[in-house]
Structure 1
């Protein structure tokens, strides 16, 4: 058994197709099939159930896949550590971001990082703050940018607060409140709202503010992409509360939207988080680019 066979198994498990798995591994299909069959003979079990149209993991394959991924991750980390000892940063960096990240210009950050560390393969994933924090704790992501209600902090990870912000009301340009200097939650509780999915941190920020004010509201549209938020609002289908630092530059170029300050509206804190356990050289290099103090970046290294 060798690492290349494990890579073939992981590729086939993820693609469920011999041709696509071979393309991912840059080998001919016959070679990949032969190596996997050889591994199955060595192990004495079938890792995949095959037919002319389908490829699926067997129960033995499911069990093997977990350890195979761990072995490959350990091998990649060993190579990255050796390179880092020689002054070269290599390996993989998985970055998570919420869709309303505003404290950091993520594309510009990744551009700077790539200029300094071109041998690092960067992966980017968008998602909700709770899911991203869980992925960092579980080792699926190396760092993440989160947004949480004021007073709530990320748990089980290292974190630094990047910025504090307040939400503004986003309404269509012809809305009755479009020209208001400010509003309260009581003024807008009767409106129809566009918001994030129930149970997510992005939604909780507004839900908690209304609950604290003793108010209820109607959320008729749930969306994960802010572009859909703004399209629904511009067509007069609803209003939304969104972080001001994120929405202001976007609304400035959209004549169909108007922003109104909210006196008692939601507030959030944006965080940078990373794993408490032995951050990789690629992770420490990103923290350095972000200006995180070295002592904090290596506290658990």
Structure 2
């Protein structure tokens, strides 16, 4: 069993296509298919069901994939550790961020990192705090930037608090409350809301604040991206609550302070079990 065979299996699983997998791996399709067939003979099981229309993993393939990923990650970490031992940072850095990260200028940080460590392959993913935490635990991400209610802390990972902030009301242009110097949750409770999906960290900080005040509100639109949330507010479809530090990025809407606004804390997380030289170098670049 060879690492290259595992890379081919992973590429096919991710693209659902032998043709696209071969293009990704920079080999001809016949060579990729031959190596996967060799691996299947060695394992005594088919890893993929192939038809003229689709390719999908068999139960054996599903069982093989996690271990193959671990083997490839271990091989990459081994190479990176050797490079670090001779003073060179190589390998991969996978960063996860929430859509409303504000404590760190992510593009600037990644640009600085790439200038210092040009031999590291950098990947960036955007997701919810819960999803990013699980991916850091599993080793799919090296570091993550989260936003959590002030009452919560990251679980199962190492963390560093980056900033504390309060939410502000985000209103459409011309809204009756847009000219107010500040508003309360009780006033906002009469409005229709645009918010993040239920049970996510981005939603819970607002839900907890309204519940603590004994208030009910209607959330008519649930979205996963702050950009779409802002566009819906701009169209007058509802109002929203977003972190104050994030609001300089907004256009076409008005923001108003909230007297009893919920707090949001941004955290940087990583897993000490899977930290690599590339990830450690990135952590060292960030503010303490």
TM-score, normalising length from structure 2?
0.96
After superposition, the CA RMSD in angstroms is 1.3
Specify whether residues 56 and 234 from structure 1 end up closer, same or farther in structure 2 by C-alpha distance, changes over 3 A only.
closer
Say whether residues 1:264 and 2:264 are aligned partners. no
Q: Which aligned pairs between 1:113-132 and structure 2 lie closer than 5 A?
A: 113-132=113-132
In structure 1, how many angstroms separate the alpha carbons of the residues matched to 2:36 and 2:232? 50
In structure 2, how many angstroms separate the alpha carbons of the residues matched to 1:51 and 1:234? 47
1:243: which partner in 2? 243
2:270: which partner in 1? 274
1:299: which partner in 2? none
1:5: which partner in 2? 5
Structure 1 residue 236 displacement after superposition: 1.6
In structure 2, how many angstroms separate the alpha carbons of the residues matched to 1:230 and 1:181? 21
Q: Which aligned pairs between 1:144-293 and structure 2 lie closer than 5 A?
A: 144-247=144-247, 249-251=248-250, 254=251, 256-292=252-288
Q: Which deviates more, 212-221 or 5-14? A: 5-14
1:62: which partner in 2? 62
Structure 1 residue 69 displacement after superposition: 1.4
In structure 2, how many angstroms separate the alpha carbons of the residues matched to 1:37 and 1:250? 51
Unaligned runs of 5+ in 2: none
Q: Is the 8 A contact 2:193 2:238 kept in 1?
A: yes
TM-score, normalising length from structure 1?
0.92
- Residues 199-239 of structure 1 show CA distances to partners (whole Å, capped at 9, x for unaligned) of 10000010000011010101111111222222221222111
Is the partner of 2:230 in helix, strand or coil?
helix
Q: Is the 8 A contact 2:180 2:256 kept in 1?
A: yes
- Residues 171-196 of structure 1 show CA distances to partners (whole Å, capped at 9, x for unaligned) of 12211111111111111111111111
Is the partner of 2:74 in helix, strand or coil?
helix
Q: Is the 8 A contact 1:156 1:276 kept in 2?
A: no
